[in-house]
């Protein structure tokens, strides 16, 4: 009996160690998506005088992460496990918005708040929602952005607006969601730039 155990135990141990080193299913690779600007925008024919300072975009902690967000039931949010943005959405959108404002020439100059540049107006933005609504297949991408324009010399609120874009998702997956969210982001930025161009600045 002892001899049999002495032969069986090493064999079991060897089998266990071999099982630990056997390759399992390949781990799914994480895909990284980049929010991009579709191209040049029409330049304003009558830019506002003065310099616009752009404050960093605010967002709830949930949207400060890099994973793509989705929802399957109202009032809930989830995150794609293997799909991420290349950087946090608020930071990327803020950079894209500044590039677009400079290209459109809505103001004489645009600079980030805190850059040391003297500004006449300040644009505050907040990302309210940015997710794939997957309650129905294939779903829609929802982008909601709030903006307010403030005079810096007297802290007067010139105007405030909420911009909403709902874009159909072509494919029921992370790539389809990322593409639709990108189009939604560009749509709200288009509307924001147009709104600034028409702002009643005295």
Q: What is the pLDDT along the chain (202 residues), one digit of tens a residue?
A: 444 444 443 343 333 323 333 344 456 788 999 998 776 666 766 788 899 999 999 999 999 999 999 999 989 999 999 999 999 999 999 999 999 999 899 999 999 999 999 999 999 999 999 999 999 999 999 999 999 999 999 999 999 999 999 999 998 889 999 999 999 999 999 999 999 988 877 6
Q: Which string of b and e fits 111-124 if b means at least 16 CB within 10 Å?
A: beeeeeeebbbbbb
**Beta bridge partners of residue 163, listed in sequence order:** 145
pTM of the model: 0.81
Closest CA to 122 of 151, 161, 91, 146: 151
Beta strand 140-151 pairing with 121-133? antiparallel
How far is residue 68's CA from residue 177's CA, in Å, rounded to a whole number? 8
> What are the C-alpha distances in Å from 164 to residues 27, 111, 123, 156?
37, 25, 18, 25
In the chain, what are the domains? 30-197 (3.40.50.10610)
Q: Which of 168, 196, 195, 199 is nearest to 184 (CA)?
A: 168
- Which pLDDT value is given to residue 41? 67
């Amino acid at each position: 009996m002892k001899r049999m155990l002495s032969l069986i135990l090493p064999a079991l141990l060897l089998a266990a160690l071999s099982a630990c080193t056997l390759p399992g299913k390949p781990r799914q690779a994480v895909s990284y998506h980049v929010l991009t600007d579709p191209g040049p925008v029409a330049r304003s024919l009558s830019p506002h005088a003065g310099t616009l300072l752009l404050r960093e975009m605010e967002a709830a902690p949930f949207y400060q992460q890099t994973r793509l967000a989705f929802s399957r039931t109202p009032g809930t949010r989830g995150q794609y496990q293997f799909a991420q943005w290349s950087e946090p959405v608020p930071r990327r959108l803020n950079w894209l918005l500044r590039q677009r404002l400079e290209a459109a020439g809505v103001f004489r100059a645009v600079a980030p708040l805190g850059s040391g540049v003297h500004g006449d107006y300040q644009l505050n933005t907040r990302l309210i929602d940015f997710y794939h609504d997957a309650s129905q297949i294939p779903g829609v991408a929802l982008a909601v952005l709030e903006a307010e324009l403030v005079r810096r010399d007297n802290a007067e609120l010139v105007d405030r607006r909420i911009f909403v874009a709902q874009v159909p998702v072509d494919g029921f997956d992370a790539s389809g969601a990322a593409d639709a969210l990108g189009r939604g982001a560009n749509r709200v930025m288009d509307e924001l730039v147009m709104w600034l161009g028409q702002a009643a600045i005295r």
